[in-house]
Amino acid sequence: MQSILVVNAGSSSVKFQVFDISERNKPTRLIKGQVDGIGSRPRIRADTAGKKPLIDETFDREKVPDIASALQTAGKWLRESQKVELSAVGHRVVHGGPQYDRPIRVDTKVLADLTRYEPLAPLHQPNNLAPIRALLKSSPSLTQVACFDTAFHRGHDQLADHYAIPADLYAEGVRRYGFHGLSYEYIADRLPQIAPSVADGRVIVAHLGSGASMCGLKQLRSCESTMGFTALDGLPMGTRPGQLDPGVILYLIEQKKMTAGQVQDLLYKDCGLKALSGISNDVRELQGSSDPRAKFALDYFVYRIVLQTGLLAAALGGLDAFVFTAGIGENSASIRKAVVEKLEWMGASIDAAANEAGRTVISSPSSRIAIYVIPTDEELMIARHTLATLNGSSEAAAS
């Protein structure tokens, strides 16, 4: 069975999916799994696309101490148990920098380029690149394709792309990139099928998860994003602060005598909903808590979503539709309700029953803005890009 393996590697887990590529331009999902607890209590789990369990096995910590060994463990199981023959591996890579604006086959030079962007995405980029590095060493002839979260936003107008800083800094790559691009690209692909009447109009997509951002689409293209140079900007997230006055960083360094490493750890690991609530970075836990700090954290999250909606609507010149996606956006009816209620001044109104049921369309008939809930599928986008690259119909370009 000729297949594509899609890999999304984190700090202590490797998520993977297998797609059959028998049909030339249509990858079909077969297996979805992950190896988690890496370095502590490693465990591999996988199901079929129809959610039939295939494996659930735990290993000694020493047998799966890192990302590379986790990938080897998953690969061995796929080969021996599922008879999977890989034609290519597609990887989610968060940051493509100024050079890579579309998927690309990875070799040692590309890997070296992408390693330079690790400081811009320290939670993600090193882990994204670890399995690529391991496979280049163990299977150098296997095609690997890097798919970037920044690529979908690379067509931004220069006004949206720049910071008000010296030109030489922009030239070396200090600019507004935007992230979660694979998610937004999938939503843009689905909109003509789900909402043809608004697909070519002005649409805001809210990717709300542990990492959260929003994107303004016009004619299905990204025009503006809440994230910028790194994945710290914009909305508050599980452990990241979102929009922050740069003076706060100067204060931490000059007055609190924090090192750059300490500031980085604070901003990526100890801010956001975790800091505001003092309880958890998980929205589900906060919603189940009676602590007033939990309510404050959720209210703040909603407030910032609404503020950024106004910003994106201004960039788009109006608003025709709003889409909720990702873990919180797809599953939290209460967050969706709170956001829409605060957008009533724009003419938005919600169908309470449709929202509670998690239907695709949750706006009321009287709403001037169409409101949707559309599950995202970043892995399918990676599989499509990988297959297209394998078939020679997609080549990376340097901008």
Give me the active site residues, please: 149
Coil, helix or strand at residue 344: helix
Q: Enumerate residues 6+ apart whose C-beta is below 8 A from 156.
A: 176, 178, 222, 223, 224, 225
Residue 349: HSE in the Cβ half-sphere, 13 Å Cα cutoff: 6
Chain centre distance of CA 174: 21
d(CA 257, CA 260): 10
Q: Enumerate residues 6+ apart whose C-beta is below 8 A from 314.
A: none
d(CA 93, CA 9): 9
CB atoms within 10 A of CB 143: 17
C-alpha distance from residue 181 to each of 203, 215, 336, 378 (Å): 15, 9, 22, 9
d(CA 180, CA 211): 9
* Helices first, then strands: H and E counts in the chain: 15, 13
Structure-block tokens of residue 146: 């890097």
Evaluate whether 318 touches 198 at the Cβ level (below 8 Å): no
Q: Enumerate residues 6+ apart whose C-beta is below 8 A from 130.
A: 9, 66, 67, 68
**Element of type H or E holding 108:** helix 108-115
Measured in degrees and rounded to the nearest 5, phi and psi for residue 129 equal -85, -20
